Amino acid sequence: MPTVTMTVNGMERSGNVEDRTLLVDFLREHLGLTGTHVGCDTSQCGACVVHVNGTSVKSCTCLAAQADGAEVTTIEGLANGTELHPMQEAFREHHGLQCGFCTPGMVMSAVDLANRNPDPSEHEVREWLEGNLCRCTGYHNIVEAVRAGAQAMGGGS
Amino acid sequence: MNDFTYHAPTSLDEALAALRGAEGAKLIAGGHSLLPVMKLNLAAPSDLVSLAGVPGLADISDDGDSVTVGAMCTHAQVAGSATVQGRIPALAAMADGIGDAQVRNAGTIGGSVAHNDPAADYPAACVALGATIVTDRREIGADDFFQGMFMTPLAGDEVVTAVRFPVPSRAAYAKFANPASKYAVAGVMVADGPDGVRVAVTGASGDGVFRVGEMEAALAGSFSADAVAGISVSSDGMLSDTAAGADYRAHLVTVMAKRAVEACG
Amino acid sequence: MSANGSGIGASVKRKEDQRFLTGRGRYTDDINLPGQLYGYILRSPVAHANIGGIDTSAAMAAPGVHAVFTGKDMEGVGSIPTGWLIHSKDGSPMVEPPHPALAIGKVRYAGDCVAIVVAETKRQAKAAANLVDVDYQELPAVASIEAAEADGAAQVFDEAPGNVCYDWEVGDKGATDAAFEGAAHVVSIDVVNNRLVPNAIEPRAAIANFDPATDEYTLYTTSQNPHLIRLLLGAFVLGLPEHKLRIIAPDVGGGFGSKIPHYAEEAILTWTAGQLGRPVKWTCERIDAFKSDTHGRDHISTAKLALDADGKFLGLHVSTKANLGAYLSTFATCVPTYLYGILFAGPYTTPAVYCEVKSFFTNTVPVDALRGAGRPEATYLLERLVDKAAVELGMDRVEIRRQNFIREFPYQTPVALQYDQGDYDATLDLALDASDWAGFEARRAEAAARGKCRGIGISTFIEACGIAPSAVVGSLGARAGLYESGSVRVHPTGSVSVFTGTHSHGQGHETTFAQIVSDMLGVDFAAVDVVHGDSAKIPFGMGTYGSRSLAVGGTAIYLAVEKVIEKGKKIAAHLLEASVEDIEFENGSFTVAGTDRSTSLGDVALTAYVPHNYPEGLEPGLEETAFYDPLNFTFPAGTHVAEVEVDPETGEVDVVAVTGADDVGRIINPMIVAGQLHGGLAHGIGQALLEDCIYQDDGQLATGSYLDYTMPRAADLPSFNINHNTTLCTHNPLGAKGVGEVGSIGIPPAVINAVIDALRPLGVNDMTMPATSQRVWQAIQQAQG
């Protein structure tokens, strides 16, 4: 089987995987990074969002091979030790999560937005989150968390 | 999903060779059209040839009376491009409304036009703006390129390298999206360009993107929302699903056309 | 109870968040056991067919395959049970056909489990499943209530003629008929309560293991109620004793009712693991979740309200037909009856209420509880009807409600419930104020100037939750008690583990319950951990649904803490050489009343575990368990107001403002309570405007993925304006009522009433959920002729 190599959360990781292996399966099953979740099979729910070379993508709609050589960041790579990333902290502070299943994708998506827009409006946050489904929160607190997190990030991370 | 052989060529020639090397080979750009259908086993190519490593396919250039967008430009790139925003703001706005943020980060213009999904946004933009689809071997006008649902004149080993858009004097896109999938139920691009006024509709018809001649003629006479408000398209041949039946789609075409004209300012 | 920074009433940040935010949650699919195999469940592609035969030989020969089992292999295994026996009007018991875990002889819905293929990898199992050759001899299907009751309709079960499961009633029909005879006005309505797919974002999953050395089975499963699964799976299906069956529901990614039922897959996996002696894992794909997770709602109703000349309600008559799907899921039969019919007094003094419900089998996915379960259906019907009455009588929509409010408590309704407490005027006033109801017409005019039709809608409602008194539900047909257990273990050095039989899958129990215990015992919030979801760790439990966890589970914990304090007093009395009666406990200290002699909980705990100097006859240790069986339902109530703008050209409905004024009883953590309300409101708005589970006539699901089933997204919703007026529940010590379902119960009629209000100037007087753009546009077209 072919080898893919990528930098995941700052560490070089390799694996021998079938070409059809999706990035999310490589992360979850080969690297044991189970923080990235799978909630659908039609690229809609966004539970699987990770960063590839700094932008958010749906890891269920990306081959591991397509990320060969890339810098990949997952939810496990966001915090600095036990110190939460400002976006994670904002989600905690604003109760932007309940069951936690959509949360990793939601946070990774939010960080991408904040990197582009340090002070997004409510409308901009809601539009940006189109690719992330949450069934628990009604999005109200997620929106507040993303706005606060973006401000806390100070316009980039 | 069936297994396949993944190729990562670093030049166009290598890509073409890989495409010719296997009968069931397909190109993959961002993968946002292809991978979803492969996951549902609706497509099972033997080989995937990635264009990601081929240099020179992701540039956007201002050519004076036209803007050329490299095939590997993501929707986000097009939406965020100062060149596109400055010269054809309607195209940037349209790209900014495709799918969701992550789709825009990965999906490409080349992949979208080559796939020719009847509910995709780019076909309407290409046809209304009178774009030219540039391949490794020829140039094809948008009117000839989009040949009905998922159909294009592309040969099996042909690679879209860029799309060239003439700069219009004014243009706008109005879309009514499917509430679930967010694909276009009726997306109308109106453009007043070098070849006159063009009105192209995506999402509505089972035959893919189409032009509305009656609206184009009316707008050529008087470029105003009122000019198209009374023009309806037939619901014959319109798509129909749980979100939108044929009559509703036909109605939305007129409403979106009106709104696009209004948005042209 | 003392208020401190992390005690009752404080918006304490959640304990569970650290792991969820850093990707360290442990959901079922994140777990892998050594030697694990993968199971793929082959499902029926057709809605109704006889199975002529199944050839598994090709699948068996496929790479990596260990086993293929079909219904024949599991024939000796028990039927998947249902939890509630309903009796029809004539006293006869409901029709209760068998539900084999793997179909035997016949499939009854597209998605019915036909075989399990077990292989080394997920891919191998799925690929081999394609090789299982099933001879489906297709039969006509009934995919709706209308089809099920039609003359000559196909029969889902031979033993259920006309596809009827039961024909139930509640209330005094004679008194209700009499109320209509003398009425000045009668207002009628027909409503459909649209079928929904729950769509927790975590798909269901399970891993079963069997240890031949101990004869012990372990099942990890995505459940809201692991002990209930143990009871149903162990006692009814596989015949396993409780001590040999351990159910673990680890982190669960949302439930909303869809993870209450005991599913066939749980039985199939557990049985298969026993056959193979190896762990078997299964994770549902979303496309299969649509056709195998229980669905919700799906009612057709007609109702009429009798009023006197002044608009006072005299009588209510409701006839409902409910779709139960192809098999009776765990709570299926009680949702459209005892969680529905008994709600029809609402917050009103209607003296005579009668409700009859006929429930049907159809060739569709089984229907069970979904956030609100029965109560949204009742509230929707009642609040639509009340609005219609106001319009027909020319009365103000608010005043007609207000003049019929119940104001004296306890209040015995004509449909079995006794409300203990409430203040419906207070929540109504709060909502009117917070929504600027009085200023609406100016907003309508402003919207009209922009070409938009703006409308406002209201719903005043009660719900019955905190289920439920065991004796009451037992007399109504429940096959289980609905009490809850809580254990509090004070460790030797004073930290505390709390064990609850409820299950948290988003509700924040690990935080809320820790707040209660921390507050009562005066120990640091950080020193209290809550354990849930493992039948081997928790004494017993009925789980989390029906907004019961705080009112019932929280009370059990409260009572266990009281026991701990009582025992602690005995130890303290001994240490302080005082009489037990003189010991007071406050803020973590045991004090001899009227003195400064005291000892801490920590010292008492250490003494309990190192009992060198200890009261004679007292057991060592400081751990107590309490079971709490509620005395009554709890009755949260409130007023919801929705404001919408309709684009008359496209039919698009935009929810521009949502105001809730709710009485949910004692609030332990306002932050968590607000989150629960937000989620329920979103779910309710989804039902009102977006979500619709549509079956084709042949029983194929037309909305079977996120490409065509519209889930509410962030941009579909506004921010929510949440307000509270609290009256305390009188029959549990916390005064708690419940909050998890309030939003999905209260808001749908407010939204639809708002849509109708917006469209009335265009001649539209009725609207069916979901009010999709197309449906609204069609209604406008029709009204405009």
Query: pLDDT class for C391, splitting at 50, 70, 90?
Result: very high
Are A109 and A137 contained in the same domain? yes
Whether the Cβ atoms of residue C415 and residue C173 lie closer than 8 Å to each other:
no
Interface check for A5 against chain B (CB to CB < 8 A): the answer is no
The arithmetic mean of pLDDT across residues C151-157, rounded, is 97
C740 and C680 Cβ atoms separated by less than 8 Å? yes
The answer, yes or no, to whether residue C333 has pLDDT greater than 50, is yes
CB contact under 8 A, C650 and B181: no
Q: What is the mean pLDDT of residues C632-639?
A: 97
CATH code of the domain containing B254: 3.30.390.50
Cα C702 → chain centroid:
25
Nearest chain C residue to A33 by CA: give it.
C23
Closest-CA residue of chain C to B179: C710
Phi, psi of C207 (to 5 degrees): -135, 125
Of B76, B258, B99, B264, the C-alpha closest to B177 is B99
Average pLDDT over residues C513-538: 97
**What is the nearest CA distance from A66 to chain B, expressed in angstroms?**
8
- Do the chains contact at C774 and B244, CB–CB below 8 Å? yes
Q: What is the pLDDT of residues C548-567, one digit of tens each?
A: 999 999 999 999 999 999 99
Mean pLDDT of C755-764: 98
pLDDT at residue C34 tops 50: yes
C708 and B244 within 8 Å at the Cβ level: the answer is no
For the segment A44-71, the average pLDDT, to the nearest whole number, is 97
pLDDT classification of C4: cutoffs 50, 70, 90 = low
Nearest residue to C465 (alpha-carbon basis) of C744, C765, C758: C744
In this structure, the answer to whether residues A64 and A127 fall within a common structural domain is no
pLDDT band at C1; cut points 50, 70, 90: very low
pLDDT, residue C113, reads: 98
Among chain A residues, the shortest Cα distance to B6 is held by A19
ipTM of predicted complex: 0.98
A15/A38 same-domain check: yes
Taking CA–CA distances from B41, the nearest residue in chain C reads C127
Q: Are C532 and C486 in contact (CB under 8 A)?
A: no
N-term to C-term CA, chain C:
64
Q: What whole-number distance in Å separates Cα of residue C517 and Cα of residue C557?
A: 8
Is the Cβ of B252 closer than 8 Å to some Cβ of chain C? yes
Residue C190 to residues C138, C298, C303, C397, C766, Cα–Cα distance (Å):
34, 14, 6, 19, 10
**B1 lies in a domain?**
yes
pLDDT tens, A126-148? Answer: 999 999 999 999 999 999 999 99
Structural domain range at position B249: 170-264
| Residue C410: cis peptide before it, omega within 30 degrees of 0 | yes
List all chains that touch chain B, counting a touch as 3 or more CB pairs closer than 8 Å. Answer: A, C
Q: Average pLDDT of C253-274?
A: 98
Residue B102: which of A18, A49, A63 has the nearest Cβ?
A49
Q: Which residue has the tokens 């019932």?
A: C552
What DSSP string runs through C342-369?
GGTTTTB--SEEEEEEEEEE-SSPPB--
Q: How many CB pairs under 8 A join A and C?
A: 178
* CATH number of the domain encompassing residue B45: 3.30.43.10
A109–chain B Cβ distance below 8 A for any pair: yes
Shared domain check, A96 and A55: no
Count H helices and E strands in chain C, helices first.
Answer: 19, 28
Neighbours of C202 (CB within 10 A): 30
Q: How many residues does chain C have?
A: 785
User: C302 - beta bridge partners?
Assistant: C190, C319
- Smallest CA–CA distance, residue B183 to chain C, in Å, is 9
Is residue B212 within 8 Å of B124, Cβ to Cβ?
A: no
Cross-chain CB nearest to A66 (options B1, B52, B102):
B52
For residue A156, the model assigns a pLDDT of 44
Contact C710 B245 (CB under 8 A): no
Beta bridge partners of C216: C211
Q: Least CA distance to A90: which residue of chain C?
A: C21
CA distance C306 to chain A (A): 37
* CB < 8 Å from C in window 24-43 of A: 28, 33-42
| Mean pLDDT calculated for residue range C38-52 | 98
CA–CA distance, C226 with A110 (Å, rounded to integer): 34
Best of B47, B102, B105 to mutate (most A CBs within 10 Å, chain A): B102
Dihedral of CA C42/C46/C47/C51: which sign?
negative
- Show residues of chain A in contact with C20, CB under 8 Å: 97, 99-100, 103
Handedness of CA C761, C764, C770, C772 (dihedral sign): negative
Which of A59, A77, A95 terminates a domain? The answer is A77
Question: B212 CB contacts (<8 Å, ≥6 apart)?
Answer: B199, B200, B201, B231, B233, B253, B257
> Which one of A48, A77, A106 terminates a domain?
A77
Whether residues A113 and A56 fall in one domain: no
User: Could B36 and A61 be called an inter-chain contact, meaning their C-beta atoms sit closer than 8 Å?
Assistant: yes
Best of C290, C668, C713 to substitute, by most chain A Cβ atoms within 10 angstroms, is C713
Do residues A148 and A92 both lie within one domain?
Answer: yes
The neighbour count for residue C649, using CB atoms within 10 Å, is 18
**Token couple for C528:** 């209290």
Q: Which of A58, A72, A125, A134 to mutate to test the interface with B (most CBs of B within 10 A)?
A: A58
Question: Given a cut of 90, is residue C5 above it in pLDDT?
Answer: no
Facing residue for B6 by CB, picked from A19, A61, A113: A19
The answer to whether C80 and C71 are in contact (CB under 8 A) is no
Same domain, A73 and A90: no
For residue A155, the model assigns a pLDDT of 53
Chains linked to C by 3 or more Cβ pairs within 8 Å: A, B
What local confidence, expressed as pLDDT, does residue C3 receive?
Answer: 44
My answer on whether A14 and A64 are in the same domain is yes
In angstroms, the CA A150 to CA A156 distance is 8
Residues C637-661: tens digit of each pLDDT: 999 999 999 999 999 999 999 999 9
- If DSSP states are collapsed to H, E and C, what string results for A48-60? CEEEECCEEEEHH
The CA distance from C552 to C179, in Å, is 38
**Interface mutation vs chain A, best among B100, B115, B178, B183, most A CBs within 10 Å:** B100
What is the percentage of chain C residues whose pLDDT exceeds 70? 99
Q: Quote the pLDDT of residue B265.
A: 83
* pTM summary value: 0.97
Cβ–Cβ below 8 Å for B50 and A41: no
What is the average pLDDT value for chain C, to the nearest integer? 97
C96 CB-near residues (< 8 Å, 6+ apart): C82, C85, C165, C328
* CA–CA separation, C495 and C262 (whole Å): 35
Segment C415-432 mean pLDDT: 97
Q: How many domains does chain B have?
A: 2
Rg (CA), chain A: 15
Cα distance from N-terminal residue to C-terminal residue, chain A: 36
Token pair recorded at residue C660? 């809730």
Tally the C-alpha atoms within 13 A of residue C37's C-alpha that lie toward its C-beta. Answer: 28
What's the total number of domains in chain A?
2
* Bridge pairing between strands C352-361 and C313-325: parallel
Cβ-based neighbours of C442, under 8 Å, separated by 6 or more: none
Q: How many residues does chain A have?
A: 157
How far B103 CA lies from chain A's nearest CA (Å)? 7
B30 domain residue, yes or no: yes
Contacts of B243 in chain C (CB under 8 A): 708, 710, 772-774
pLDDT at A157 over 60: no
As given in the structure block, the two tokens for residue B179 are 């509430």
CB B6 within 8 A of CB B50: yes
Residue among A150, A142, A84, A87 at smallest CA distance from A114: A150
Pair A98, A149 in one domain:
yes
Residue ranges making up the domain that contains A71 = 3-77
A131:B99 CB<8 A: yes
Query: For residue A140, what is the nearest residue in chain C, using CA coordinates?
Result: C719
Q: Which of A36, A99, A103 sits opposite C505 (nearest CB)?
A: A99
Residue A14 shares a structural domain with residue A71: yes
Residue-wise pLDDT tens digits, C179-217: 999 899 999 999 999 999 999 999 999 999 999 999 999
pLDDT band for position C665 (cuts 50, 70, 90)? very high
Band the pLDDT of C667: cuts 50, 70, 90.
very high
How much is the average pLDDT of A15-28? 97
The whole-number pLDDT of residue C785 equals 82
Q: Do A94 and A146 belong to one domain?
A: yes
Q: What is the CATH number of the domain that holds A15?
A: 3.10.20.30
C361-373 in b/e burial notation, b at 16+ Cβ within 10 A? bbbbbbbbbbbbb
- Mean pLDDT, range C413-440, rounded to an integer: 97
Query: What domains lie within chain C, and their CATH numbers?
Result: 17-24+483-628 (3.30.365.10), 31-139+202-253+259-290 (3.90.1170.50), 299-468+632-783 (3.30.365.10)
Query: What is the average pLDDT value for chain A, to the nearest integer?
Result: 96
Looking at B53, B70, B92, the residue that finishes a domain is B53
Residues of chain B below pLDDT 50: none
| Strand C216-221, strand C245-248: pairing | parallel
Residues C120-141 pLDDT 10s? 999 999 999 999 999 999 999 9
In the stretch 52-91 of chain A, residues with CB closer than 8 A to chain C read 74-76, 78-79, 84, 88, 91
Boundary-marking domain end, from A49, A77, A105: A77
- For CA atoms C209, C211, C215, C220, the dihedral sign is negative
Nearest-by-Cβ selection for A130 from B32, B101, B105: B101
Interface test mutation site (partner A, options B54, B105, B117, max chain A beta carbons within 10 A): B105
In the numeric block, the tokens 């597209």 are attached to C110
Q: Please state the rounded mean pLDDT for residues C41-70.
A: 98
DSSP lists the bridge partners of residue C531 as: C499
Min Cα–Cα distance to chain A from C705, Å:
8
pLDDT digit string (tens) for C171-182? 999 999 999 998
What is the number of alpha carbons within 13 Å of residue C571 lying toward its C-beta?
Answer: 30
Answer whether B6 touches A (CB < 8 Å).
yes
Q: Is residue B154 situated within a structural domain? A: no
Q: Does B236 lie at the interface with A, CB-CB under 8 angstroms? A: no
